[in-house]
Amino acid sequence: DTEVTQTPKHLVMGMTNKKSLKCEQHMGHRAMYWYKQKAKKPPELMFVYSYEKLSINESVPSRFSPECPNSSLLNLHLHALQPEDSALYLCASSQSRGRTEGYTFGSGTRLTVV
């Protein structure tokens, strides 16, 4: 298995809702990442997890809450989002922290906040 799987593919949520994005990989990768991508823009790094521990938070607002329950799974919990948070949320994984060779992206979750 050489894939990063993200669910759901599409999500529409209200500003008072709580929802979660899920990312899964079974490549034995120990580093996982969340990126946010707005239309016609490059992906922007949000969080880095290394061996299930948060190693980088790029000053992301607290309405985004990451979680890494095990080495294969990465979640992003969403609460009280704003319409400007609408974007494509991408998950990636790599063999280990700093080993960006073989950095693999999922297809993303298209999030719309209404």
Partner 1 sequence: GESVGLHLPTLSVQEGDNSIINCAYSNSASDYFIWYKQESGKGPQFIIDIRSNMDKRQGQRVTVLLNKTVKHLSLQIAATQPGDSAVYFCAERGSGKTSYDKVIFGPGTSLSVIP
- What is the contact surface with partner 1 in residues (CB under 8 A)? 4, 31, 33, 40-45, 48, 50, 55-56, 90, 92, 97-98, 100-108
d(CA 107, CA 3): 10
Q: How far is the CB of 16 from partner 1 (least distance, A)?
A: 29
- Which is nearer to partner 1, 40 or 83 (by Cβ)? 40
Is there a contact between 36 and 109 (Cβ–Cβ < 8 Å)?
no
Q: How far is the CB of 18 from partner 1 (least distance, A)?
A: 25
- Which is nearer to partner 1, 47 or 64 (by Cβ)? 47
Residue located via tokens 């991508």: 37
- Which is nearer to partner 1, 100 or 112 (by Cβ)? 100
